[in-house]
Amino acid sequence: MKKLNDFEELIDVATPIINSFVSKAIGKKIFPETDEGDLIIELQFELFKKKKELEKFTEATSLLRKQIWYLMRHKMNNMIVKRMAAKRDYRLLDLTLDDENEFFDEPQHTPQNNWDLKLDLEKILRKLNPEHVEICIKLKDGTIADVAREQQITRERVKTIVHKIRAIFKKENFF
């Protein structure tokens, strides 16, 4: 490959790499199958943004492929990290894919929603014993090791308590 005349030639080189990353992300159930086309377009757009940087690698096709692979891996990792963060808290979501526009339909921080959230949390916290509540509070600012040391219990005991707390939250469909 001598020089990239247009973006289509770059896409031809990058298509197998892009398809590989997308199929792996969908295969691991990180993204739903409906996002396949959007993921491909997102990665192609990243390639388009980096076209000027990639022109210096066009003399050697293998170097170009390695650079494209690196760029696609970096972009895909960023999207996966954001998706996993969104599973923990929808406010951490960086809206890039079409199916995620549903978050714009209804304002999420209305006073009523905040009040409902507060009531739900209070209901769940009442189900926890005082030791569990205390550990939750201490874990807000510390690690499991810090809490175990402070409470004079083993780390395994703290992990067991955290597991029980998560089970209660899951049982209440909190997350």
DSSP 145-166: HHHHHHHTS-HHHHHHHHHHHH
pTM given for the model: 0.47
Residue 175 carries which side chain, given as an amino acid letter?
A: F
Do residues 153 and 74 both lie within one domain?
Answer: no
pLDDT at 4: 47
Instruction: Name the residue among 100, 97, 114, 121 with its Cα closest to residue 45.
Output: 97
Half-sphere exposure of 115 (CA within 13 A, CB side): 3
For residue range 87-124, what is the model confidence (pLDDT) as tens digits? Answer: 666 555 544 444 444 444 444 566 777 777 777 778 88
Counting as low any pLDDT under 70, the low residues of the chain are 1-6, 28-29, 58-60, 85-110, 174-175
pLDDT at 102: 45
pLDDT at 88: 63
Do residues 27 and 43 both lie within one domain?
Answer: yes
Q: For residue 152, give its domain range.
A: 111-171
Separation between Cα atoms, residue 14 and residue 27, nearest integer Å: 20
Do residues 153 and 138 both lie within one domain?
Answer: yes
Do residues 70 and 12 both lie within one domain?
Answer: yes
In a domain, residue 79? The reply is yes
Separation between Cα atoms, residue 125 and residue 129, nearest integer Å: 8
Do residues 58 and 100 both lie within one domain?
Answer: yes
pLDDT at 47: 86
In a domain, residue 69? The reply is yes
pLDDT at 75: 87
pLDDT at 109: 61
Domain-terminating residue out of 104, 124, 140: 104
pLDDT at 53: 79
pLDDT at 2: 44
